[in-house]
Amino acid sequence: MSRDFDEILDECIDRINSGQGIEECLASYPEHAQELEPALRAVFDIRAAYSFTPRPAVKAAARQRFYAALDSLERKRQEHRAVPRRLLRWSWAWAGIAAILLLGVIGYALMTTLAPANAGILEVRVTDAPPQDVSEILVSVDDIQVHKAGAGEASGWITIIEEEKTFDLIKISGIEEVLGSEEIEATDYTQIRMDVLWVEVTIDGEQKTATIPSGTLRIVSPFSVEKGEKTILTLDFDAEKSVKVTGTGEVIFRPEVKVLARKGEGS
Amino acid sequence: MGEKDVDERRRKEELLARLYDEYYDKIARYIFIRIGHQAEAEDMAGEVFLKALESLDSYQERGAPMQAWLFKIAHNLMVDYVRKVSKRKTIPIDKLEISDKVDLEETVERRLQSEKLSQALKQLTPAQREVIGLRFFAGLTSNEVAKILSKSSGAVREMQSAAVKSLRKLMYEGS
């Protein structure tokens, strides 16, 4: 094959990779169609033969391991820094300012009565990177739950906070705000979920109610609650990615959140 | 590690995390076309990102884009894997893994086609197989492939054309 053909074939493969069909490539190079078409058909057949979709459960488990490794790295970095509690902020995931919510959960030993000595506290924090021209992002959630590792999908959820809680992702940047606390079993957990009730965003001085495509925010992230210890969960909200304004001015809230767990002060 | 280094490191981690969802699948397919085992390919794809996290300090943004760097890691993992396996095996049709939800007739058709393609791929040189994997499944440009394989873009295009020609002959003409 001539060198020109090599370049043409290469360009056509780029175009196929970007979603174009064989016919479009052939239309661009009709003088090479006789040679080009069988080559491009072979490319398509090869892609189709090996085009498998990785199993979602396997991919999710690998993703969990990856994020657990990221969490571990950031925890170690934080442990090496002496930062006043008031100024403590988590800027790991995406650039920006930290808006922090705390959810306190107290862990207790299985099959023992509740006692301070057996308690562990789970705190959830949120960090946030606010988009430009947004002065307020009011988010209202309720029914905050965590899921016990290995438990059934329906039975493994434990409610931490039932009542509605509202917070401003912009206003609480750099501050820790406690949503609530609950005593729970000292064990491993893998998920957090909450119902997002409503979101109001103030853009250029105008308040708009955001569309929430999915009312339930569910985050897969492993963490442990230890006996006699406080565990802090930081929900790293990226407001810049979570809040989108469409061409017609509609505001859509599709939360992008990362959960980071670390040990805090004792219960 | 100074504050600036920490921020730099975090920025790279953020970039790596952003690439995860899109490139996990591509990396799994790239590995699959080389080793022919779906479960192993999925596991190794996850391993690529963990390895990338471990060696993130060695990644320089001046060089290849991070996507290309990930495939280099995948390539190295595959080399180790192939060494362990030591000899290439033909994948028997009855052992070829398939998705649960695929129609049986289509599955048999795909299996036969995959077997034929698997045999055809074995006839290529290792470098040609790399190019096929990186261009067709990873979606990298020939310039990016050239950086990974330490070859010129022209050489990559030549290998690509030769590989496609060979595969076409082997798959459709049987020679």
Instruction: Tell me if chain A has a CB within 8 Å of the CB of B20.
Output: yes
pTM tops 0.90, yes or no: no
- Torsion (CA) A17, A18, A23, A24 in degrees, nearest 10: -140
Q: Is the pLDDT of residue A183 over 70?
A: yes
Alpha-carbon span A133 to B88, nearest angstrom: 59
Quick one: A38 and A129 in the same domain? Answer: no
Structure letter (DSSP) for residue A246: -
Task: Name which residue leads in pLDDT, A226 or A266.
Answer: A226
**Residue A54 to residue B45, Cβ atoms within 8 A:** yes
Q: How far is A38 from chain B (nearest CA, A)?
A: 7
* Mean pLDDT of all residues in A185-205: 85
Q: Which of residues 86-125 of B touch A (CB under 8 A)?
A: 99, 110, 113-114, 117
Quick one: A17 and A142 in the same domain? Answer: no
Structure letter (DSSP) for residue A131: P
Query: Domain residues for A216?
Result: 58-263
Q: Is the pLDDT of residue A103 over 50?
A: no
Quick one: A208 and A77 in the same domain? Answer: yes
* Mean pLDDT of all residues in A205-213: 84
Q: Which of residues 41-70 of A touch B (CB under 8 A)?
A: 41-43, 45-47, 49-55, 58-59, 61-63, 65-67, 69-70
Quick one: A126 and A204 in the same domain? Answer: yes
Q: How far is A218 from chain B (nearest CA, A)?
A: 17
Mean confidence (pLDDT) of chain A: 74
Quick one: A151 and A213 in the same domain? Answer: yes
- Closest partner residue to B157 among A10, A47, A59, by Cβ? A10
Both tokens of B58, joined, read 């060695």
Report the alpha-carbon angle B153-B11-A253, nearest 5.
105
pLDDT band at A106 (very low <50, low <70, confident <90, very high): very low
Strand partners, A124: A233
Q: Which of residues 26-55 of B touch A (CB under 8 A)?
A: 28-29, 32-33, 38-39, 41-43, 45-46, 49-50, 53
What pLDDT score does A3 carry?
53
Q: Tokens 């008031």 — which residue?
A: A86
Alpha-carbon span B165 to B128, nearest angstrom: 11
What pLDDT score does A188 carry?
84
Domain B1-89 has CATH 3.40.1190.20: no
Instruction: Tell me if chain A has a CB within 8 Å of the CB of B166.
Output: no
3-state SS class at A253: strand
Question: Domains in chain A: how many in total?
Answer: 2
Quick one: A150 and A207 in the same domain? Answer: yes
Element housing A136 (H / E): strand A134-148
Quick one: A153 and A107 in the same domain? Answer: yes
What pLDDT score does A221 carry?
77
Quick one: A112 and A236 in the same domain? Answer: yes
Distance of CA A139 to the CA centre of its chain: 16
Quick one: A88 and A212 in the same domain? Answer: yes
Q: Tokens 């790239």 — which residue?
A: B30
Quick one: A68 and A113 in the same domain? Answer: yes
Residues sharing a CB contact under 8 Å with residue A143, sequence separation 6 or more, in sequence order: A159, A161, A162, A194, A195
Long-range CB contact pairs, B107-114, < 8 A, 24+: B110/A49, B113/A45, B113/A49, B114/A49, B114/A50
Q: Is the pLDDT of residue A242 over 70?
A: yes
Quick one: A114 and A240 in the same domain? Answer: yes
Quick one: A29 and A146 in the same domain? Answer: no
Q: Is the pLDDT of residue B164 over 90?
A: yes
Domains of chain B: which residue ranges?
1-89
